[in-house]
Amino acid sequence: MKTHRQGLAANWRSFLHLAAFFLGLTLGAQAAQAAPTGTGAYEAALPAELATAKDMCALLPCQDVFPGAKSFSERLGSPPYVKALGEADKLLGYVMLSTDITDTPAYSGKPVVTLIGMDLTGHFVGIKVLKHSEPILLLGIPESALLKFNDQYLGKSVADKIEVGQTRPDENVLGVDAISGATVTVIAQNQVLMASGQAVAKQVGILAPTVRDPARYAQTERRFDWAQLVKLGAVQRLRVSPEQVGLPRGPEPFVELWFGDLNHPAIGASLMGASNWANLRSRMKESEHAFFIIRTAGIESFKGSGFVRGGIYDRVQVKQGADSFTFRDLDYLNLYGLEAAGAPEFNESAIFIIRSKAFSAAYPWQLALLGNRVDRATGARSFANFDSKYWLAAELLEGGRPVVVEADAPWVRVWKTRAVEIGLFIALLLGVTVVYALREKLTRLSTHKNKWPVNAFKYTAWGLSIVFVGFGAMAQPSITQVLTWFHSLLFQWTWSLFLSDPFIFVFWIFIIVTVFLFGRGLFCGWMCPFGSLSEAIYKVGEKIGLKRFQGHLPHAWHHRLKWLKYAIFFGLLVISMFSMGLAEKLAEVEPFKTTFLVGITNRAWPYGLFVATLLGLSLFIERPYCKYICPLGAALAMPSTFRWFGLKRKQDCNSCKACAVGCGSLAIDAAGRIDHRECLHCLDCMILYTDTKGCPPLAKERKRRERDGLLITPIGRDGYFIPIQPIQPNAMSEKVALGPDPRMPTDPVAPAHKADAQGLKWIWAELFDHLWPWHKDSWKSQKALQIAGFSLALAATLAWVLAGSGRLSQSAIIAWWFGWSVYEVLIRLAGKRYVKDGPWWQGHYRRASVMDMLSYVGFKNLLIGAALFLALKASGLMLA
């Protein structure tokens, strides 16, 4: 009883320490956020009426971006801008809001809302970031860095060709310096500043307007019904659901619009009838263009409830390239009906006329519906732009569609501008993978006294990881990326988000592949910049005379503390389901940003002290952060349970302690088994595996052969001397022979229902095993647990049905799924306590530890949950 109470007390102490740790991180993160940062624009609240207010400068600090102005006009033009006026209303220049013109997303997937001032010659005179959602500018890089980046544009012209990177005079390119670690953000900001400035400059005459060749329509007498027009792409749909604008989900969309070209004779006559279309053309000039909009569902008016005669229709715009076109009352005509067979009923309609010569129907354009989105959690309103692309089919244009070269997406530009470095990085990762795959050849060339055949490659990988990957490319993977991947897999996968940082993207491909091939150790032990720095410091300490002070924590403490990193990982994962922002703040438990991305000297002292403490401990304890704190290591350790290829063991390892004594990561237990979740792949045990002088069983056999005058043969794959003649009974002791098999992490298991299963029977057995956690034998001893499980399974199924009907949120589904997963772990431990070891198509089963089962159930249910979420999303049933 006393031991039990002591165990409970130890558990409570660990829990309290963890709680205090997270509380400290939270307070530190809040203090960092509260500290002056230069702009304070992270998720700043903007006026709710900003998107539609005529007097924009009454709501925004326009004086900050045009200091010499005495007053500002109301919004003018399309896209909107305001005039900056001096004494006697003298025109000095223009002020624009970036989101009035472009909603180019930054790394966070949201635009950086920027106020921009431009003089009469098209030169930038002021730039102010009003709001951004970039987490790296919250806790990593200070917002002042973005301010300094924007300052580089002051005095430069919108007519200049400005790019992030080096100046290239031969190409007339002006370069601006990037923000280290925020390349995607600044490339997006460059596009925002240039697109906004050029759009207004063209409108007010500073720059020549874009000239597009007018459309030449292919002549045809064919008439189309509605279904044919839809198939041809001649009519397009723009549908906005209530949840997209922060409203409760309902059976009807927020608005559903259909729109299309009316200038093409065949399309216009098909939609309106020949006489009505001829009448429309008679009312238009040759250079003018007509298109129609109808509302077929929803309660939102695309015309806008605030429209008055002489005003503009502020809910709809047409965008073509950098040009935007809005519509006044004089640009509106009534559309009384559609004559195309099968056309839907509608409750609102309009014909709008584009009168600008810059527009051409031969080129792609977009219909944009403008409005506000309400955050259901906070009630905050933000600018929203919903659009749908339109481009006449090639067969409707004489000569087909023109060639259109669109600006590269920000992530594409990053890949292009850093192609050489990315290529070198890929080569490094491939080289490390190949070297590690050939590890057995290297370890056979090494001995416990000469490890350089292995260490030469390993130390080179450390050096490159620290210098090139960490401080150079700043490509330190982080737990925040795991959380982002987790959320994206469940809710909305966006390739551009992951492609926007090429080094991290490539690194994660390497990590995922190698974790399932070899376990976490190749990344954590060889290529993690911080891990490499930590162990390099330990090695340096050894060389400068600190070896006598170096050592490990007592095994009892080690085996308690190693679970801390898993607790931190699961804590961050759970917190992220409720607040990704809070999880990002708590992820400061990682020292990576401070070490590589920002620098100790550029952060508040608690962050620097944390890093200095970890690196200082690394002088005396090998990789303390990696072993006990790293949530990224914990996240990678779980799939390492199912690595295909482990490190080699032999039967004698269950009694010989040589490898365990020398294991820096303390990953070898008393039975000689390797815990691949903890192993960092230093390969010292693999060197001993074939070392005839270092491995005690081999040394003993070598001495016997030398004494008896027998041939010293090479070491076989099983770790023993290759016999060349019939041998006597195995010399190993009965205790060793009958002891645990160190080649398996746990004792082997043979599930009876899978014996001799082949073909379809094997596939069915596999599916049954993964989807049905109950076991018939458990009914005899744990009926209550079994019944509770069926009840929970029915409840979880009901939860999915409710989600499908739109009556349960994603958070509730995750809570149910998490509860079910916890139960599944318990029920499998009670009846099906085994997991597969090695490649999935093989049949090597072993007894599952609690961590084995947590890893298996967690990973399996993540994939099943993602598949169910995607299915519900695809069917349009999942509540946002």
Which of these, 135, 136, 129, lies nearest to 113 by C-alpha position? 129
Encoded tokens for 202: 């063209």
pLDDT score for 383:
59
Q: Evaluate whether 683 touches 454 at the Cβ level (below 8 Å).
A: yes
Backbone angles phi and psi of 831, in degrees to 5? -130, -40
Res 17: pLDDT: 44
Question: What proportion of the chain, given as a percentage, has pLDDT over 90?
Answer: 43
DSSP 547: G
Instruction: Give the pLDDT score at 773.
Output: 83
**What DSSP string describes 136-192?**
IIIIIS-HHHHHHHHHTTTT-BTTSEEEES--BGGGTEEEEPPPTT-HHHHHHHHHH
State the Cα–Cα distance between residues 631 and 851, nearest whole angstrom: 15
Q: Is the pLDDT of residue 8 over 60?
A: no
State residue 698's pLDDT score. 92
pLDDT of res. 363: 94
Point out the least confidently predicted range of 139-143, 159-163, 416-420, 632-636.
Answer: 139-143
pLDDT of residue 3: 43
Instruction: Decide which of 750 and 868 is more confident.
Output: 750
Average pLDDT of the chain?
83
Q: Is the pLDDT of residue 20 over 60?
A: no
* pLDDT above 60: residue 151: yes
Distance CA 878, CA 702 (A): 67
Q: What is the pLDDT of residue 85?
A: 95
Determine contact, residues 619/840, Cβ cutoff 8 Å: no
**pLDDT in the model for residue 47:** 86
Tell me: pLDDT of 813 over 80: no
Query: Considering only 299-303, 373-377, 426-430, 795-799, which range has the smallest mean pLDDT?
Result: 373-377
Residue 766 to residues 672, 772, 837: CA-CA distances in angstroms? Answer: 31, 10, 14
Contact 703, 663 (CB under 8 A): no
What are the distances in angstroms from CA 654 to CA 204, 642, 643, 738?
Answer: 82, 22, 22, 10
pLDDT tens for each residue of 56-82: 999 999 999 999 899 999 999 878 899
Asked whether residue 828 carries a pLDDT value surpassing 50, the answer given is yes
Q: Which of 430, 421, 420 is nearest to 510 (CA)?
A: 430
Least confident of 301-310, 421-430, 664-673, 709-718: 301-310
Whole-Å CA distances, 401 to 111, 224, 230, 398, 701: 31, 20, 18, 8, 80
CA dist 34 and 54 (Å) reads 33
Determine contact, residues 165/186, Cβ cutoff 8 Å.
Answer: no
Residue 80 φ then ψ, to 5°:
-70, 150
Q: How confident is the model at residue 368 (pLDDT cuts 50, 70, 90)?
A: confident
Round to whole Å and give the CA distance between 53 and 304. Answer: 13
Higher pLDDT, 145 or 479: 479
pLDDT in tens, 203-255: 899 998 788 889 999 988 889 999 999 999 999 999 988 877 877 767 788 89
In three-state secondary structure terms, 324 is: strand
How far apart are alpha carbons 670 and 173 in whole angstroms? 65
Q: What is residue 418's DSSP assignment?
A: T
User: Using the 8-state DSSP alphabet, how is residue 872 labeled?
Assistant: H
Other C-beta atoms closer than 10 Å to the C-beta of 559 total 13
Tell me the C-alpha distance between 594 and 604, whole Å: 10
Count of residues for the chain?
880
- Angle made by CA atoms 493, 430, 479, in degrees to the nearest 5: 40
Give tens-digit pLDDT for 494-517: 777 678 789 999 999 999 999 999
Q: Tell me the average pLDDT across 373-394.
A: 74
Is 16's pLDDT higher than 70? no
Q: Quick check: 805 pLDDT over 60?
A: no
What is the helix (H) or strand (E) element at residue 490, kind and residue range?
helix 479-490
